Amino acid sequence: MAKKDYCTQNNGDCSTCSLVNYGMDCRNVPLTTAPPKATTKLDRAMATYVGFKGDVTVRAVLAQIPQELQDSLTAKQLGMVMSAVNQAYHNGRASTGAEVVDGDAVWIDSLKQLIPLEDIYKITEHICLRCGHHWHPDSATHPTICPKCKSPYWDKPRKTNV
């Protein structure tokens, strides 16, 4: 790990520095290069998950995996589902061990399970065509209004020649 410019302790080795607390260094910067030991199921799943590990992405992907399924899967399987769902969503095709079936579900090869496409819509980032606001939904239901400008026509382009 590169020594940080502001480091005055321990020769830049945050992993053993006494100023590190809850994964934050002496300036409260998260220690992203030295992940904590995987202790929870989610941590272990993350170790398997090969999608973009941004916080929003992970929460969005996790949000669309039913709790029941999360509970029934091993951490490794959960990681595979997260990867497959994320990649299937981004690629829209079967290149990564996941395949959209009949237009309404995604088949995950590694799990031999179908995940409803409706759930996958939860990881879609919605963009309001009226005000340009974009947001991540917290449920699979199609938003009725834009949370910012409240337009019910957020998903419909403005008519240009009325």
Q: State the residues that interact with Zn ion by CB under 5 A.
A: 128, 130-131, 133, 146, 148-149
* Rounded distance between C-alpha atoms, residue 161 and residue 68, angstroms: 49
The residue among 44 and 148 lying less far from Zn ion, judged by its C-beta, is 148
The residue among 39 and 160 lying less far from Zn ion, judged by its C-beta, is 160
The residue among 45 and 146 lying less far from Zn ion, judged by its C-beta, is 146
CB of 134 to Zn ion, least distance (A): 9
CB of 63 to Zn ion, least distance (A): 22
The residue among 4 and 156 lying less far from Zn ion, judged by its C-beta, is 156
CB of 129 to Zn ion, least distance (A): 8
Long-range contacts of 49-58 (CB under 8 A, 24+ apart): 49/79, 49/82, 49/83, 49/86, 50/83, 50/87, 51/82, 51/83, 51/86, 51/87, 52/86, 56/136, 57/86, 57/123, 58/82
Residue type, 61: V
DSSP 106: E
CB of 149 to Zn ion, least distance (A): 3
